[in-house]
Amino acid sequence: MPDSNHTSSNRTDTAKQVNENQCHMCMPLGGVIAFKGVEGSMALVHGSQGCSTYMRLTNVEHYHEPIDVASSSLNEKQTIYGGEKNLKKALDNVRRVYNPKVIGILTTCLTETMGEDLNRIIASYKAEKGEIYTDIIPVSTPSYDKSHTEGFWTATRDIIAHYARKDIAYHRKINVIVPHISTADIKAIKLILDTWGVDYTLLPDYSMTLDRPFAGKYAKIPEGGTSTADIAEMSGGLVTIQFGLTCEESISPGHYLEENFGVPLINLPLPIGIGNTDMFMDALARITGKTMPKNLGYERGWLIDAMADSHKYNASARPAIYGEPELVYAYASLCLENGSVPSVIASGSVHSRLAPALDRLLEESDCDEMPVILEGADFSMIEAAALETGANIAIGHSGGRLLTENHDIRIVRAGFPIHDREGGQRILSAGYAGTLTFLDRFTNTLLEKKHSSYRELRKQELLSKIAAVTETGFTTE
Protein backbone atom coordinates (compact mmCIF):
# COMPACT_ATOMS: atom_id res chain seq x y z
CA MET A 1 0.00 0.00 0.00
CA PRO A 2 1.10 3.59 -0.48
CA ASP A 3 4.02 4.26 1.70
CA SER A 4 3.31 4.78 5.35
CA ASN A 5 6.83 5.68 6.47
CA HIS A 6 6.70 9.20 5.18
CA THR A 7 6.60 11.98 7.65
CA SER A 8 7.16 15.15 5.69
CA SER A 9 4.05 17.26 5.42
CA ASN A 10 4.23 17.81 1.68
CA ARG A 11 3.51 14.16 1.00
CA THR A 12 0.00 13.02 0.44
CA ASP A 13 -0.55 9.80 2.25
CA THR A 14 -3.60 7.85 1.27
CA ALA A 15 -5.48 4.85 2.45
CA LYS A 16 -7.89 4.87 -0.44
CA GLN A 17 -8.81 1.50 -1.87
CA VAL A 18 -9.67 2.46 -5.39
CA ASN A 19 -6.91 2.66 -7.92
CA GLU A 20 -8.36 5.06 -10.45
CA ASN A 21 -6.43 5.32 -13.71
CA GLN A 22 -3.31 3.33 -13.02
CA CYS A 23 0.23 4.61 -13.14
CA HIS A 24 1.85 1.18 -13.03
CA MET A 25 1.57 -2.21 -14.65
CA CYS A 26 2.01 -5.77 -13.51
CA MET A 27 5.21 -7.50 -12.54
CA PRO A 28 5.60 -10.08 -15.35
CA LEU A 29 5.43 -7.30 -17.97
CA GLY A 30 8.74 -5.92 -16.72
CA GLY A 31 10.16 -9.44 -16.73
CA VAL A 32 9.21 -9.91 -20.39
CA ILE A 33 11.11 -6.75 -21.36
CA ALA A 34 14.20 -7.82 -19.41
CA PHE A 35 14.26 -11.15 -21.25
CA LYS A 36 14.01 -9.33 -24.58
CA GLY A 37 17.45 -7.98 -23.68
CA VAL A 38 19.05 -11.44 -23.71
CA GLU A 39 20.36 -12.80 -27.00
CA GLY A 40 18.28 -15.56 -28.56
CA SER A 41 15.66 -15.55 -25.87
CA MET A 42 11.93 -16.10 -25.67
CA ALA A 43 9.67 -15.17 -22.80
CA LEU A 44 6.97 -17.60 -21.72
CA VAL A 45 4.27 -16.41 -19.35
CA HIS A 46 2.92 -19.19 -17.17
CA GLY A 47 -0.73 -18.39 -16.69
CA SER A 48 -3.90 -17.70 -18.56
CA GLN A 49 -3.23 -16.75 -22.19
CA GLY A 50 -4.73 -13.30 -21.68
CA CYS A 51 -1.68 -12.33 -19.62
CA SER A 52 0.76 -12.88 -22.44
CA THR A 53 -1.64 -11.35 -24.98
CA TYR A 54 -2.12 -8.21 -22.91
CA MET A 55 1.62 -7.84 -22.32
CA ARG A 56 2.35 -8.24 -26.01
CA LEU A 57 -0.31 -5.68 -26.80
CA THR A 58 1.15 -3.14 -24.38
CA ASN A 59 4.69 -3.71 -25.65
CA VAL A 60 3.77 -3.70 -29.32
CA GLU A 61 1.80 -0.48 -28.95
CA HIS A 62 4.92 1.13 -27.54
CA TYR A 63 7.68 -0.45 -29.61
CA HIS A 64 5.86 -1.01 -32.90
CA GLU A 65 7.77 -4.26 -33.27
CA PRO A 66 6.67 -7.89 -33.37
CA ILE A 67 6.94 -9.12 -29.81
CA ASP A 68 6.55 -12.84 -29.34
CA VAL A 69 5.62 -13.92 -25.84
CA ALA A 70 4.47 -17.48 -25.37
CA SER A 71 1.83 -18.60 -22.93
CA SER A 72 1.09 -21.87 -21.19
CA SER A 73 -2.59 -21.09 -21.83
CA LEU A 74 -4.05 -22.45 -18.61
CA ASN A 75 -7.74 -23.31 -18.58
CA GLU A 76 -10.10 -23.96 -15.69
CA LYS A 77 -9.05 -27.59 -15.47
CA GLN A 78 -5.42 -26.73 -14.87
CA THR A 79 -6.31 -24.34 -12.08
CA ILE A 80 -7.46 -27.44 -10.23
CA TYR A 81 -4.97 -30.06 -11.40
CA GLY A 82 -1.95 -27.84 -11.87
CA GLY A 83 -0.35 -26.34 -14.93
CA GLU A 84 2.64 -28.66 -15.28
CA LYS A 85 1.44 -30.45 -18.40
CA ASN A 86 0.60 -27.23 -20.18
CA LEU A 87 3.88 -25.63 -19.26
CA LYS A 88 5.82 -28.60 -20.58
CA LYS A 89 3.81 -28.59 -23.81
CA ALA A 90 4.49 -24.89 -24.16
CA LEU A 91 8.22 -25.45 -23.66
CA ASP A 92 8.13 -28.18 -26.33
CA ASN A 93 6.35 -26.00 -28.85
CA VAL A 94 8.44 -22.91 -28.26
CA ARG A 95 11.62 -24.96 -28.61
CA ARG A 96 10.38 -26.61 -31.80
CA VAL A 97 9.34 -23.43 -33.58
CA TYR A 98 11.79 -20.87 -32.17
CA ASN A 99 14.71 -22.95 -30.93
CA PRO A 100 15.71 -20.20 -28.50
CA LYS A 101 18.95 -20.14 -26.53
CA VAL A 102 17.02 -19.00 -23.48
CA ILE A 103 13.43 -19.36 -22.34
CA GLY A 104 12.47 -17.08 -19.49
CA ILE A 105 9.41 -18.33 -17.66
CA LEU A 106 7.49 -15.65 -15.79
CA THR A 107 4.80 -16.51 -13.32
CA THR A 108 1.51 -14.63 -13.00
CA CYS A 109 -0.94 -13.94 -10.22
CA LEU A 110 -2.80 -17.06 -11.34
CA THR A 111 0.06 -19.52 -11.14
CA GLU A 112 1.48 -17.92 -7.99
CA THR A 113 -1.89 -18.23 -6.28
CA MET A 114 -2.06 -21.83 -7.44
CA GLY A 115 1.35 -22.32 -5.88
CA GLU A 116 3.07 -23.72 -8.98
CA ASP A 117 6.60 -24.92 -8.21
CA LEU A 118 8.52 -23.89 -11.30
CA ASN A 119 11.87 -25.23 -10.17
CA ARG A 120 10.40 -28.70 -9.72
CA ILE A 121 8.56 -28.60 -13.05
CA ILE A 122 11.67 -27.45 -14.90
CA ALA A 123 13.80 -30.11 -13.21
CA SER A 124 11.31 -32.75 -14.22
CA TYR A 125 11.17 -31.36 -17.78
CA LYS A 126 14.95 -31.50 -18.04
CA ALA A 127 14.99 -35.01 -16.65
CA GLU A 128 12.49 -36.06 -19.33
CA LYS A 129 14.29 -34.39 -22.22
CA GLY A 130 17.90 -34.96 -21.25
CA GLU A 131 20.48 -32.52 -22.58
CA ILE A 132 18.80 -29.57 -24.29
CA TYR A 133 20.19 -26.55 -26.07
CA THR A 134 17.85 -24.14 -24.33
CA ASP A 135 18.53 -22.62 -20.92
CA ILE A 136 15.33 -22.29 -18.93
CA ILE A 137 15.21 -19.47 -16.39
CA PRO A 138 12.20 -19.17 -14.08
CA VAL A 139 11.34 -15.85 -12.47
CA SER A 140 8.71 -15.36 -9.84
CA THR A 141 6.65 -12.30 -10.78
CA PRO A 142 3.31 -12.32 -8.96
CA SER A 143 1.52 -9.13 -9.94
CA TYR A 144 0.00 -8.72 -6.50
CA ASP A 145 3.50 -8.39 -5.10
CA LYS A 146 5.16 -5.56 -6.99
CA SER A 147 4.91 -3.54 -10.22
CA HIS A 148 6.46 -3.94 -13.68
CA THR A 149 9.47 -1.90 -12.57
CA GLU A 150 10.40 -4.47 -9.94
CA GLY A 151 9.53 -7.26 -12.39
CA PHE A 152 12.23 -5.88 -14.66
CA TRP A 153 14.83 -5.72 -11.87
CA THR A 154 13.90 -9.16 -10.52
CA ALA A 155 14.17 -10.83 -13.91
CA THR A 156 17.48 -9.10 -14.61
CA ARG A 157 18.84 -10.30 -11.27
CA ASP A 158 17.59 -13.84 -11.86
CA ILE A 159 19.11 -13.94 -15.35
CA ILE A 160 22.49 -13.00 -13.86
CA ALA A 161 22.02 -15.45 -11.01
CA HIS A 162 21.26 -18.25 -13.46
CA TYR A 163 24.65 -17.92 -15.18
CA ALA A 164 26.85 -16.52 -12.42
CA ARG A 165 29.61 -18.83 -11.24
CA LYS A 166 32.25 -18.56 -8.55
CA ASP A 167 34.94 -20.03 -10.78
CA ILE A 168 34.88 -17.24 -13.37
CA ALA A 169 38.34 -15.72 -13.55
CA TYR A 170 38.44 -12.01 -12.72
CA HIS A 171 38.73 -9.88 -15.84
CA ARG A 172 38.84 -6.23 -16.89
CA LYS A 173 35.38 -5.93 -18.38
CA ILE A 174 32.88 -3.78 -16.55
CA ASN A 175 29.24 -4.66 -16.02
CA VAL A 176 26.64 -2.06 -16.93
CA ILE A 177 23.11 -2.69 -15.75
CA VAL A 178 20.32 -0.49 -17.04
CA PRO A 179 16.79 -0.03 -15.74
CA HIS A 180 13.71 -0.08 -17.95
CA ILE A 181 14.57 2.78 -20.35
CA SER A 182 14.05 3.52 -24.02
CA THR A 183 16.09 1.72 -26.65
CA ALA A 184 17.42 5.12 -27.70
CA ASP A 185 18.80 5.66 -24.20
CA ILE A 186 20.44 2.23 -24.17
CA LYS A 187 22.09 3.10 -27.49
CA ALA A 188 23.21 6.46 -26.09
CA ILE A 189 24.77 4.81 -23.03
CA LYS A 190 26.54 2.27 -25.23
CA LEU A 191 27.87 5.03 -27.44
CA ILE A 192 29.30 6.81 -24.41
CA LEU A 193 30.95 3.60 -23.22
CA ASP A 194 32.36 3.01 -26.70
CA THR A 195 33.64 6.57 -26.84
CA TRP A 196 35.51 6.00 -23.60
CA GLY A 197 36.88 2.80 -25.10
CA VAL A 198 35.93 0.59 -22.20
CA ASP A 199 35.20 -3.10 -22.51
CA TYR A 200 31.78 -3.78 -21.02
CA THR A 201 28.76 -6.05 -20.84
CA LEU A 202 25.47 -4.20 -20.79
CA LEU A 203 22.40 -6.03 -19.51
CA PRO A 204 19.59 -6.22 -20.50
CA ASP A 205 20.36 -4.90 -23.96
CA TYR A 206 17.08 -4.74 -25.89
CA SER A 207 18.26 -1.83 -28.01
CA MET A 208 18.19 -3.99 -31.16
CA THR A 209 15.62 -6.64 -30.29
CA LEU A 210 12.91 -4.10 -29.56
CA ASP A 211 13.93 -1.68 -32.29
CA ARG A 212 14.86 -3.76 -35.29
CA PRO A 213 16.05 -2.17 -38.49
CA PHE A 214 14.06 -3.22 -41.55
CA ALA A 215 15.74 -6.18 -43.19
CA GLY A 216 13.09 -7.40 -45.63
CA LYS A 217 12.91 -10.65 -43.75
CA TYR A 218 11.23 -11.49 -40.51
CA ALA A 219 13.53 -13.18 -38.02
CA LYS A 220 11.55 -15.11 -35.43
CA ILE A 221 14.10 -14.23 -32.82
CA PRO A 222 15.66 -10.89 -33.57
CA GLU A 223 19.32 -10.13 -33.71
CA GLY A 224 20.84 -8.47 -30.67
CA GLY A 225 20.65 -8.80 -26.93
CA THR A 226 23.30 -9.58 -24.34
CA SER A 227 24.86 -12.96 -25.03
CA THR A 228 24.64 -15.63 -22.36
CA ALA A 229 28.41 -16.08 -22.56
CA ASP A 230 28.87 -12.44 -21.62
CA ILE A 231 26.30 -12.67 -18.86
CA ALA A 232 28.16 -15.65 -17.42
CA GLU A 233 31.29 -13.53 -17.26
CA MET A 234 29.59 -10.80 -15.25
CA SER A 235 30.36 -12.50 -11.95
CA GLY A 236 34.07 -11.96 -12.63
CA GLY A 237 33.73 -8.36 -13.77
CA LEU A 238 35.95 -5.52 -12.64
CA VAL A 239 33.10 -3.43 -11.35
CA THR A 240 29.36 -3.01 -11.90
CA ILE A 241 27.86 0.32 -12.88
CA GLN A 242 24.16 0.06 -12.25
CA PHE A 243 21.72 2.84 -13.01
CA GLY A 244 19.57 1.77 -10.15
CA LEU A 245 19.63 4.45 -7.49
CA THR A 246 16.04 3.68 -6.58
CA CYS A 247 16.26 -0.12 -6.83
CA GLU A 248 15.70 -1.95 -3.54
CA GLU A 249 18.64 -4.10 -2.49
CA SER A 250 16.62 -7.29 -2.33
CA ILE A 251 16.09 -7.27 -6.11
CA SER A 252 19.13 -5.29 -7.20
CA PRO A 253 21.21 -7.17 -9.79
CA GLY A 254 24.29 -5.11 -8.98
CA HIS A 255 23.89 -5.76 -5.29
CA TYR A 256 23.54 -9.47 -6.01
CA LEU A 257 26.86 -9.49 -7.87
CA GLU A 258 28.59 -7.56 -5.11
CA GLU A 259 27.16 -9.63 -2.31
CA ASN A 260 27.80 -13.03 -3.84
CA PHE A 261 30.78 -12.49 -6.10
CA GLY A 262 32.51 -9.45 -4.68
CA VAL A 263 32.08 -7.34 -7.81
CA PRO A 264 32.13 -3.76 -6.50
CA LEU A 265 28.92 -1.87 -7.24
CA ILE A 266 28.72 1.74 -8.34
CA ASN A 267 25.04 2.48 -8.12
CA LEU A 268 24.24 5.64 -10.05
CA PRO A 269 21.20 7.59 -11.15
CA LEU A 270 20.44 7.39 -14.86
CA PRO A 271 22.73 9.71 -16.81
CA ILE A 272 19.93 12.13 -17.59
CA GLY A 273 20.64 15.74 -16.66
CA ILE A 274 24.09 17.25 -16.36
CA GLY A 275 24.83 16.31 -12.75
CA ASN A 276 23.82 12.70 -13.23
CA THR A 277 25.80 12.39 -16.44
CA ASP A 278 28.81 13.94 -14.69
CA MET A 279 28.60 11.19 -12.10
CA PHE A 280 28.67 8.57 -14.83
CA MET A 281 31.67 10.23 -16.49
CA ASP A 282 33.43 10.54 -13.17
CA ALA A 283 32.90 6.84 -12.50
CA LEU A 284 34.31 5.93 -15.92
CA ALA A 285 37.30 8.21 -15.33
CA ARG A 286 38.03 6.53 -12.03
CA ILE A 287 37.60 3.04 -13.45
CA THR A 288 39.71 3.60 -16.55
CA GLY A 289 42.14 6.17 -15.27
CA LYS A 290 41.54 8.12 -18.47
CA THR A 291 40.22 11.63 -18.93
CA MET A 292 36.89 12.24 -20.59
CA PRO A 293 37.05 12.08 -24.40
CA LYS A 294 37.08 15.47 -26.03
CA ASN A 295 33.82 15.14 -27.95
CA LEU A 296 31.92 14.36 -24.75
CA GLY A 297 33.39 17.57 -23.34
CA TYR A 298 31.96 19.45 -26.32
CA GLU A 299 28.60 17.83 -25.75
CA ARG A 300 28.69 18.96 -22.13
CA GLY A 301 29.56 22.46 -23.28
CA TRP A 302 26.69 22.54 -25.76
CA LEU A 303 24.33 21.42 -23.05
CA ILE A 304 25.44 24.14 -20.61
CA ASP A 305 25.17 26.70 -23.38
CA ALA A 306 21.62 25.63 -24.16
CA MET A 307 20.65 25.48 -20.49
CA ALA A 308 21.74 29.07 -20.06
CA ASP A 309 19.90 30.16 -23.21
CA SER A 310 16.60 28.49 -22.40
CA HIS A 311 16.47 29.26 -18.70
CA LYS A 312 14.34 32.33 -19.36
CA TYR A 313 11.56 29.95 -20.36
CA ASN A 314 12.33 26.94 -18.20
CA ALA A 315 12.33 28.96 -14.98
CA SER A 316 8.59 29.36 -15.37
CA ALA A 317 7.91 25.64 -15.63
CA ARG A 318 6.28 23.71 -12.81
CA PRO A 319 6.40 20.17 -14.15
CA ALA A 320 4.46 17.19 -12.83
CA ILE A 321 6.74 14.21 -13.29
CA TYR A 322 5.38 10.67 -13.16
CA GLY A 323 6.35 7.13 -14.14
CA GLU A 324 8.90 4.57 -13.05
CA PRO A 325 11.09 5.55 -10.06
CA GLU A 326 14.45 5.60 -11.83
CA LEU A 327 13.23 7.82 -14.67
CA VAL A 328 11.22 10.03 -12.37
CA TYR A 329 14.29 10.66 -10.24
CA ALA A 330 16.44 11.47 -13.26
CA TYR A 331 13.93 13.87 -14.80
CA ALA A 332 13.38 15.55 -11.45
CA SER A 333 17.07 16.30 -11.14
CA LEU A 334 17.23 17.50 -14.75
CA CYS A 335 14.32 19.85 -14.08
CA LEU A 336 15.89 21.20 -10.90
CA GLU A 337 19.11 21.93 -12.78
CA ASN A 338 17.11 24.03 -15.20
CA GLY A 339 15.17 26.02 -12.66
CA SER A 340 11.99 24.11 -13.41
CA VAL A 341 11.03 23.18 -9.88
CA PRO A 342 8.79 20.12 -10.04
CA SER A 343 5.30 20.54 -8.68
CA VAL A 344 4.56 16.83 -8.37
CA ILE A 345 6.91 13.86 -8.46
CA ALA A 346 4.95 10.62 -8.62
CA SER A 347 5.40 6.93 -9.18
CA GLY A 348 2.93 4.06 -9.23
CA SER A 349 5.47 1.83 -7.58
CA VAL A 350 5.78 1.57 -3.81
CA HIS A 351 8.75 -0.76 -3.69
CA SER A 352 11.59 1.60 -4.43
CA ARG A 353 14.06 3.90 -2.75
CA LEU A 354 12.72 6.88 -4.67
CA ALA A 355 11.57 8.89 -1.66
CA PRO A 356 14.88 8.97 0.26
CA ALA A 357 16.73 9.66 -2.99
CA LEU A 358 14.44 12.59 -3.74
CA ASP A 359 14.84 13.82 -0.17
CA ARG A 360 18.58 14.15 -0.68
CA LEU A 361 18.12 15.74 -4.08
CA LEU A 362 15.62 18.31 -2.85
CA GLU A 363 17.65 19.11 0.21
CA GLU A 364 20.58 20.08 -1.99
CA SER A 365 18.44 22.05 -4.38
CA ASP A 366 17.17 24.63 -1.87
CA CYS A 367 14.01 25.39 -3.80
CA ASP A 368 11.36 27.56 -2.21
CA GLU A 369 8.38 25.36 -2.76
CA MET A 370 8.80 21.66 -2.16
CA PRO A 371 7.17 19.37 -4.71
CA VAL A 372 4.43 16.96 -3.70
CA ILE A 373 5.88 13.46 -3.69
CA LEU A 374 3.54 10.54 -4.37
CA GLU A 375 4.39 6.87 -4.25
CA GLY A 376 1.84 4.21 -5.07
CA ALA A 377 0.11 6.93 -7.03
CA ASP A 378 -2.68 6.62 -9.55
CA PHE A 379 -3.66 9.36 -11.98
CA SER A 380 -6.53 10.61 -9.87
CA MET A 381 -3.94 11.50 -7.20
CA ILE A 382 -1.46 12.90 -9.70
CA GLU A 383 -4.13 15.03 -11.35
CA ALA A 384 -5.38 16.42 -8.04
CA ALA A 385 -1.85 17.23 -6.89
CA ALA A 386 -0.95 18.78 -10.23
CA LEU A 387 -3.94 21.11 -10.09
CA GLU A 388 -3.34 22.02 -6.48
CA THR A 389 0.30 22.89 -7.07
CA GLY A 390 -0.25 24.74 -10.33
CA ALA A 391 1.58 22.35 -12.62
CA ASN A 392 1.91 23.86 -16.10
CA ILE A 393 3.68 21.00 -17.90
CA ALA A 394 4.18 17.28 -17.32
CA ILE A 395 6.82 14.66 -18.04
CA GLY A 396 5.71 11.06 -18.37
CA HIS A 397 4.09 8.30 -20.41
CA SER A 398 0.77 8.15 -22.24
CA GLY A 399 -1.12 7.12 -19.11
CA GLY A 400 -1.32 10.78 -18.14
CA ARG A 401 -3.06 11.89 -21.33
CA LEU A 402 -6.11 13.06 -19.39
CA LEU A 403 -3.96 15.82 -17.87
CA THR A 404 -3.88 17.38 -21.33
CA GLU A 405 -7.43 16.48 -22.31
CA ASN A 406 -9.00 17.81 -19.14
CA HIS A 407 -6.63 20.56 -18.04
CA ASP A 408 -4.42 21.41 -21.02
CA ILE A 409 -1.33 20.41 -19.06
CA ARG A 410 0.87 19.30 -21.94
CA ILE A 411 3.03 16.24 -21.60
CA VAL A 412 6.62 15.87 -22.71
CA ARG A 413 6.39 12.18 -23.42
CA ALA A 414 8.96 9.92 -21.80
CA GLY A 415 8.99 6.49 -20.24
CA PHE A 416 6.71 3.55 -20.94
CA PRO A 417 4.20 3.06 -22.46
CA ILE A 418 3.85 5.64 -25.22
CA HIS A 419 0.95 4.41 -27.30
CA ASP A 420 -0.57 7.66 -28.53
CA ARG A 421 2.53 9.01 -30.25
CA GLU A 422 5.02 7.55 -32.69
CA GLY A 423 8.50 6.56 -31.62
CA GLY A 424 8.18 5.85 -27.90
CA GLN A 425 11.25 3.67 -28.07
CA ARG A 426 13.23 6.43 -29.77
CA ILE A 427 12.75 9.01 -27.01
CA LEU A 428 16.25 10.07 -26.14
CA SER A 429 17.33 11.67 -22.90
CA ALA A 430 20.54 9.94 -21.76
CA GLY A 431 24.01 11.49 -21.84
CA TYR A 432 24.84 15.15 -22.37
CA ALA A 433 23.60 15.09 -25.96
CA GLY A 434 20.48 13.15 -25.02
CA THR A 435 19.73 15.51 -22.16
CA LEU A 436 19.94 18.39 -24.60
CA THR A 437 17.44 16.85 -27.03
CA PHE A 438 15.11 16.24 -24.10
CA LEU A 439 15.57 19.75 -22.77
CA ASP A 440 14.73 21.24 -26.16
CA ARG A 441 11.53 19.19 -26.32
CA PHE A 442 10.66 20.36 -22.82
CA THR A 443 11.34 24.04 -23.52
CA ASN A 444 9.51 23.96 -26.84
CA THR A 445 6.46 22.36 -25.24
CA LEU A 446 6.35 25.33 -22.88
CA LEU A 447 6.73 27.72 -25.80
CA GLU A 448 4.08 26.01 -27.90
CA LYS A 449 1.57 26.39 -25.12
CA LYS A 450 2.60 29.97 -24.52
CA HIS A 451 2.23 30.93 -28.18
CA SER A 452 -1.01 29.08 -28.74
CA SER A 453 -2.71 30.55 -25.69
CA TYR A 454 -1.18 34.04 -25.56
CA ARG A 455 -3.83 35.88 -27.61
CA GLU A 456 -6.68 34.05 -25.95
CA LEU A 457 -5.36 34.99 -22.52
CA ARG A 458 -4.95 38.65 -23.45
CA LYS A 459 -8.43 38.66 -24.95
CA GLN A 460 -9.91 37.24 -21.80
CA GLU A 461 -8.01 39.77 -19.73
CA LEU A 462 -9.40 42.64 -21.80
CA LEU A 463 -12.91 41.24 -21.80
CA SER A 464 -12.92 40.86 -18.05
CA LYS A 465 -11.79 44.49 -17.73
CA ILE A 466 -14.61 45.62 -20.01
CA ALA A 467 -17.07 43.47 -18.09
CA ALA A 468 -15.89 45.05 -14.84
CA VAL A 469 -16.41 48.54 -16.25
CA THR A 470 -19.90 47.73 -17.53
CA GLU A 471 -20.83 46.21 -14.23
CA THR A 472 -19.71 49.25 -12.25
CA GLY A 473 -21.45 51.42 -14.83
CA PHE A 474 -24.74 49.70 -14.21
CA THR A 475 -24.47 49.81 -10.47
CA THR A 476 -23.78 53.55 -10.36
CA GLU A 477 -26.81 54.32 -12.51
Please state the separation of Cα 276 from the chain's center in Å.
16
Q: How far is the CB of 298 from another protein (least distance, A)?
A: 31
The set of residues, in sequence order, having a beta carbon less than 8 Å from that of 471 and lying 6+ positions away, is none
> Between 195 and 398, whose beta carbon lies closer to another protein?
398
Which amino acid appears at position 271 of this protein? Answer: P
Helix (H, G, I), strand (E, B) or coil at 236: helix
- Cα(292)–Cα(359) distance, integer angstroms: 30
Beta strands in 108-178 (DSSP E): 135-139, 174-177
> Between 22 and 365, whose beta carbon lies closer to another protein?
22
Q: How far is the CB of 112 from another protein (least distance, A)?
A: 8
Backbone φ, ψ for residue 42 (5° rounding): -130, 145
The set of residues, in sequence order, having a beta carbon less than 8 Å from that of 228 and lying 6+ positions away, is 38, 39, 40, 101, 102, 135, 163
> Between 40 and 271, whose beta carbon lies closer to another protein?
40
> Between 74 and 330, whose beta carbon lies closer to another protein?
74
- Cα(133)–Cα(101) distance, integer angstroms: 7
Q: How far is the CB of 347 from another protein (least distance, A)?
A: 13
Which amino acid appears at position 416 of this protein? Answer: F
- Cα(314)–Cα(273) distance, integer angstroms: 14
> Between 417 and 431, whose beta carbon lies closer to another protein?
417
- Cα(53)–Cα(110) distance, integer angstroms: 15
Q: How far is the CB of 11 from another protein (least distance, A)?
A: 19
Q: How far is the CB of 368 from another protein (least distance, A)?
A: 33
Q: How far is the CB of 422 from another protein (least distance, A)?
A: 11
The candidate with the shortest Cα–Cα distance to 273, out of 417, 430, 68, is: 430
> Between 72 and 240, whose beta carbon lies closer to another protein?
72
| Other beta carbons within 10 Å of 426 | 15
Q: How far is the CB of 90 from another protein (least distance, A)?
A: 3
Beta strands in 196-297 (DSSP E): 200-203, 240-242, 265-267
The set of residues, in sequence order, having a beta carbon less than 8 Å from that of 323 and lying 6+ positions away, is 23, 347, 395, 396, 397, 414, 415, 416
- Cα(33)–Cα(31) distance, integer angstroms: 5
Helix (H, G, I), strand (E, B) or coil at 169: coil
Strand pairing category for 135-139 and 200-203: unpaired
Q: How many CA atoms lie within 13 A of 324 on its CB side?
A: 28
Kindly state the helix (H) or strand (E) to which residue 408 belongs, with its residue range. Answer: none
Q: How many CA atoms lie within 13 A of 356 on its CB side?
A: 8
Q: If you count them, how many residues does the chain have? A: 477
Q: How far is the CB of 44 from another protein (least distance, A)?
A: 7
> Between 140 and 443, whose beta carbon lies closer to another protein?
140
Helix (H, G, I), strand (E, B) or coil at 321: strand
> Between 172 and 220, whose beta carbon lies closer to another protein?
220
Q: How far is the CB of 232 from another protein (least distance, A)?
A: 26
Q: How far is the CB of 320 from another protein (least distance, A)?
A: 18
> Between 45 and 178, whose beta carbon lies closer to another protein?
45
- Cα(255)–Cα(244) distance, integer angstroms: 10
Q: How far is the CB of 447 from another protein (least distance, A)?
A: 26
> Between 368 and 422, whose beta carbon lies closer to another protein?
422
> Between 116 and 258, whose beta carbon lies closer to another protein?
116
> Between 66 and 356, whose beta carbon lies closer to another protein?
66
Question: 43 forms bridges with which residues in the sheet?
Answer: 69, 104
